[in-house]
Structure 1
């Protein structure tokens, strides 16, 4: 009999448990044992808390105390515990104490500060709803006859009967409010005042604990704007002033401030006052923070506006302004490679190919001489005539080759994959230039070989292209020249071995011999690569004999110094 079945039997026999009760007890026992064994697993503790919450077995308070004891530095634990006290137990004092204790232990938690403020304002809202339910609020039925208990309770809790966000309204016929409504309005103002005081107190504490957190202040400001409190405008201006004082050198601040100007705006016309105000904020930000990040955010904002304008009359104004921003970025030296590429792409999308070519020529001759993206854009523009012409002239071919040669010399080999592929594609049918590219690739690998293995293997790409265009014999000639170089790359070796292995499986004896030579050359250069030795052993197991396979196996064990990683299947 299994352990679970035995426990169920004992529970039913001795404690008169039903099957469902016994199963529940076992589940709870398992979770409890798991948390005892893995005290540091916070995710497991949260699963236990959810289990207790769903089953309502009365263990929640005890489990929460344990979690807090084991994980006092986890802010989510304090938030969970306070939420349970607030929502489930309706114990505001306990929830507030938990939040405050959590802030003492985790003062750098943004979520804890935000949730604490939300809880306090939610509590004020609950008090307002309670007052309305008792007939003291506007828009509700007023109960003329009240019980003695209600009157006594209200007298003892007068401060609770104040509105957070109710506003004075006129009657349906347009008449003014009476004296009782004026008294209620005064209580509403007092209640809003309390909410305002709470927010300012929490904001002050958060500012002291996390003075460098822009996101925290932004979140607190969002809560303020979503709540109707006393002196809201003054508090908002204070927060905005503090933000500008502390974060005026942060591009993220200006980006947020500009986009905030557009909140609630449905029109994206260039002349829209809110749009102009947002643009003014970005321009002010550029005066304060002249950086690439600032330009990137500004340009992204304008691009989004152009997309939303759907080609209407204001699109032209946006585009003109966008080009001026790009020019400003270029003039101030803040143009990044990504921005420069987008700048060229903008001209191409507008059909201004001549402007795009002039720009990309300037960029490739200056700051971005080593940019593969910009060289590729330039090659794409200048070789359009070749792709559309079935019989290009010798002059056009030579011009394209010179351009690509210049690009390949300037761009680092590790970043030049797209350029090499483009070059071989353009000259695939031009034997003279194809062979020149092959020779250039060998020289590039020889010059750029620093003993490392980049993700892009030029040698491997060239061998595959030669195999497709010229056949296996020419491909072997080329890869042997690469092998003669010092450490042409492990990726290169594996690709060449794969080519020869595929041919060997078709019965080509020369390929079997060539594959072995490649493996020998590879293990000579990469003797400590466990996977390479495993591949070599697997190759001999499938294609060779037991003798050759055993030879590779014992060589590997000796070379790898009895490495435990070298484990092969039987």
Structure 2
């Protein structure tokens, strides 16, 4: 080990001498640098090296290199010839990264840091090797393939290499067979072929490869436009020539060809005609309207092979439509995507709804797709097309889900539009749709909720109560329907009448949905609100909550741990009863309440925590201390999370300066806890006043170029 470290240190000598000769570092600083590097090298050579040692070494070298550059820029008035020290620091960082990745080659985050450092330093040759090594070790990580292709295309302007990174992936599903005649050099390495064959189902890779092809076509079109050889520019030129009638006086006229000269040319006429014919043929094929590449042939092939690899994912296909809208002239490609969705998902409700809503979405100016604006003249026509398509959908697929999607579409646009006539149109159509669905016996809780919301917004009290009642009878397990019904009773009846009616509805709803935490919490909040509004007196509230605690306990009377939603309900209802008793009548009533519940409701640890919190907020004096001790003792009887409960009990006793009692409880805990070692560790942390999260392993390095503590501080 010492020999290896000494070898590495000896290699630093020329670099350090160069730094001293340039007056970038003093002799004292160079000694400190040597000492730091020695410590780092020995740390890397320990029997079990750690990733953090490599990261510390890299961070130190990066800070040192940044300091060297700043000092050099201040000392040199004009750029000087480069010497060894100008690139030795960066080379050393690369070397440490390589050693780290030989040891921890499975760490993706370390590879990404290495890639980012190489990019920041413009090491293009090294980057190529890094990507090859990373992909070889991690062929199933789409992020690495995408980064490699993006770097090849954007930084190196190498579409062949970039395309190859994705095409190798597509080899397994047959894309290479279709493109081999035109893109022969793409599959450059067997390694990439083997790597991407493992990932035929990676949606992200397909999307990014598709985006790559679209971006490449877009760049070609932009170049043609700049050169004036695109289809639009050529059309404008022909139009100008026609308008000028071929008599532009400002044009430079070519000299006329005499008969003799023409005869001389005729000797090679066949060759000239052949060349001209070839040029015309090439020009014709390169026209945008005819050239299949510029028409998006490659993108279409990529998409077709992608849906073969991932055939049953609507969201996957919809993403291709979004990508198309990021580029110019997306109409043909979009239509192909929609046609394949209609072909392959003709019986899927979500797909039909997606296609039915397409007329309302267009390409936005910023890229991507956006909904038509309401003031757009095309909006009304698009709405009509959508309605016609949805009408066709519910006829072809007469299912509840299809009607729900139709009603959801109408509800969404009804809330979006502000123009009165349009809102009235959507409201009328939505009511008609919901009524038709019910007549066809295609009912669901979701459809009824939409119906109730629409009628409530129109203040149609009679109909909405009738429909809500029918809905609760048809779907008694829908909590949303019951809560809507209770809310409607509260709005439509007098205060005295509504309290009894609402309580009865809550009781009925809870009898059918006893395991719904949402319904129980709504009931407790309703009781508390009625007490705050002085509608219910304290004794009535106590009676209602006592009955609620009895029913909640009856759900799971034998368990003491809060491990399910039903136990969470019991914790919440019992704890709320104690808290509300303290708020209504003070701590004395709260103590009576929780003692009664402890004796008859099988309380959990969460209940005792709620009671202790009440003692902290409302209790005072020695009585509060004794009652808190009683609660801790009762909580320890549960034999649940005893280590944490004992530690909390000891901490409480120490806070009240009951040190002898705390010592006794600690001795008792040592005999009763299951994991004594873990308890001792947590107890020591408590005594030290620090948690494991507060302890730090790494110090923060200095980045100040004037502060040489970064160099001189020992490890």
The interval holding the TM-score normalised by the smaller chain is 0.7 to 0.9
| Residues 1:199 and 2:299 are matched in the alignment | yes
Q: CA deviation at 1:166?
A: 6.6
Cross-structure match for 1:49: 115
- The size of the alignment, in residue pairs, is 531
Cross-structure match for 2:462: 354
Match of 1:103 among 155, 166, 170: 170
Q: Distance in 2 between matches of 1:177 and 1:10?
A: 77
Match of 1:426 among 530, 540, 547: 530
Go from structure 1 to structure 2 and tell me whether the alpha carbon gap of 1:288 and 1:34 turns closer, same or farther (over 3 Å shift).
farther
| Residues 1:406 and 2:504 are matched in the alignment | no
| Residues 1:492 and 2:591 are matched in the alignment | no
Could you tell me whether the CA contact under 8 Å between 1:344 and 1:360 is conserved in 2?
yes
- For each residue in 1:471-502, what CA deviation from the matched residue of structure 2 results, as whole angstroms up to 9, or x when unmatched? 22222222122112353232211111222344
Q: CA deviation at 1:275?
A: 0.7
* RMSD, matched Cα: 3.9
Could you tell me whether the CA contact under 8 Å between 1:360 and 1:374 is conserved in 2?
yes
Q: Distance in 1 between matches of 2:205 and 2:354?
A: 23
Match of 2:131 among 64, 67, 73: 64
Residue 239 of structure 2 aligns to a residue whose secondary structure is coil
Could you tell me whether the CA contact under 8 Å between 2:479 and 2:513 is conserved in 1?
yes
Q: Distance in 2 between matches of 1:564 and 1:289?
A: 64
Residue 46 of structure 1 aligns to a residue whose secondary structure is helix
- For each residue in 1:384-430, what CA deviation from the matched residue of structure 2 results, as whole angstroms up to 9, or x when unmatched? 477x76xx4xx665445434443444442533111122034325543
Go from structure 1 to structure 2 and tell me whether the alpha carbon gap of 1:495 and 1:543 turns closer, same or farther (over 3 Å shift).
same
Runs of 4+ in 1 over 6 A off after TM superposition: 3-9, 15-18, 164-167, 176-183, 268-271
Q: Distance in 2 between matches of 1:110 and 1:130?
A: 31
| Residues 1:80 and 2:147 are matched in the alignment | yes
Structure 1 residues 329-338 or 103-112, which shifts more?
A: 329-338
Structure 1 residues 175-184 or 245-254, which shifts more?
A: 175-184
Match of 1:436 among 529, 536, 543: 543
Q: Which runs of 5+ in 1 are unaligned?
A: 139-162
Cross-structure match for 2:61: none
Could you tell me whether the CA contact under 8 Å between 1:360 and 1:378 is conserved in 2?
yes
Match of 1:284 among 392, 411, 414: 392
Match of 2:361 among 255, 260, 263: 263
- For the pair shown, which has the larger CA radius of gyration, 1 or 2? 2
Structure 1 residues 431-440 or 219-228, which shifts more?
A: 219-228
Instruction: Give me the TM-score of the superposition, normalised by structure 2.
Output: 0.65
Cross-structure match for 1:560: 673
Cross-structure match for 2:623: 510
Q: Distance in 1 between matches of 2:99 and 2:315?
A: 40
Match of 2:407 among 290, 299, 314: 299
Q: CA deviation at 1:540?
A: 2.3
Could you tell me whether the CA contact under 8 Å between 2:461 and 2:492 is conserved in 1?
no
Structure 1 residues 81-90 or 16-25, which shifts more?
A: 16-25
Cross-structure match for 2:486: 379
Cross-structure match for 1:143: none
Go from structure 1 to structure 2 and tell me whether the alpha carbon gap of 1:337 and 1:41 turns closer, same or farther (over 3 Å shift).
farther
Could you tell me whether the CA contact under 8 Å between 1:217 and 1:239 is conserved in 2?
yes
Q: CA deviation at 1:257?
A: 0.9
Residue 171 of structure 1 aligns to a residue whose secondary structure is helix
Could you tell me whether the CA contact under 8 Å between 1:364 and 1:375 is conserved in 2?
yes
Q: Distance in 1 between matches of 2:439 and 2:670?
A: 62
Q: CA deviation at 1:184?
A: 4.5
Cross-structure match for 1:209: 309
Cross-structure match for 2:39: none
Q: Relative contact order: is structure 1 or structure 2 higher (C-alpha 8 Å, sep ≥ 6)? A: 2
Structure 1 residues 17-26 or 102-111, which shifts more?
A: 17-26
Q: CA deviation at 1:460?
A: 0.7
Could you tell me whether the CA contact under 8 Å between 1:261 and 1:278 is conserved in 2?
yes
Q: CA deviation at 1:9?
A: 7.6
Go from structure 1 to structure 2 and tell me whether the alpha carbon gap of 1:262 and 1:533 turns closer, same or farther (over 3 Å shift).
same
Cross-structure match for 2:191: none
Could you tell me whether the CA contact under 8 Å between 2:217 and 2:293 is conserved in 1?
no
Match of 2:344 among 213, 235, 246: 246
Q: Distance in 2 between matches of 1:519 and 1:379?
A: 40
Q: Distance in 1 between matches of 2:90 and 2:449?
A: 62
Structure 1 residues 266-275 or 277-286, which shifts more?
A: 266-275
Go from structure 1 to structure 2 and tell me whether the alpha carbon gap of 1:398 and 1:510 turns closer, same or farther (over 3 Å shift).
same
Q: Which runs of 5+ in 2 are unaligned?
A: 1-5, 25-67, 70-85, 172-195, 247-275, 363-371, 688-715
Q: Distance in 2 between matches of 1:401 and 1:271?
A: 48
Could you tell me whether the CA contact under 8 Å between 1:270 and 1:318 is conserved in 2?
no
| Residues 1:13 and 2:80 are matched in the alignment | no
Mapping of 1:448-459 within 5 angstroms? 448-450=555-557, 451=559, 452-453=561-562, 454-456=567-569, 457-459=572-574
- For each residue in 1:15-53, what CA deviation from the matched residue of structure 2 results, as whole angstroms up to 9, or x when unmatched? 889733355445545544544443223233223222212
- For each residue in 1:350-391, what CA deviation from the matched residue of structure 2 results, as whole angstroms up to 9, or x when unmatched? 222333222222223331x344443333233323477x76xx
Could you tell me whether the CA contact under 8 Å between 1:64 and 1:81 is conserved in 2?
yes
Instruction: Give me the TM-score of the superposition, normalised by structure 1.
Output: 0.80
Residue 107 of structure 1 aligns to a residue whose secondary structure is coil
Could you tell me whether the CA contact under 8 Å between 1:165 and 1:228 is conserved in 2?
no
Residue 474 of structure 2 aligns to a residue whose secondary structure is coil
Q: Distance in 1 between matches of 2:12 and 2:458?
A: 76
Mapping of 1:126-145 within 5 angstroms? 126-127=219-220, 137-138=228-229
Residue 455 of structure 1 aligns to a residue whose secondary structure is helix
Residue 313 of structure 1 aligns to a residue whose secondary structure is helix
Match of 1:272 among 355, 361, 380: 380
Go from structure 1 to structure 2 and tell me whether the alpha carbon gap of 1:198 and 1:343 turns closer, same or farther (over 3 Å shift).
same
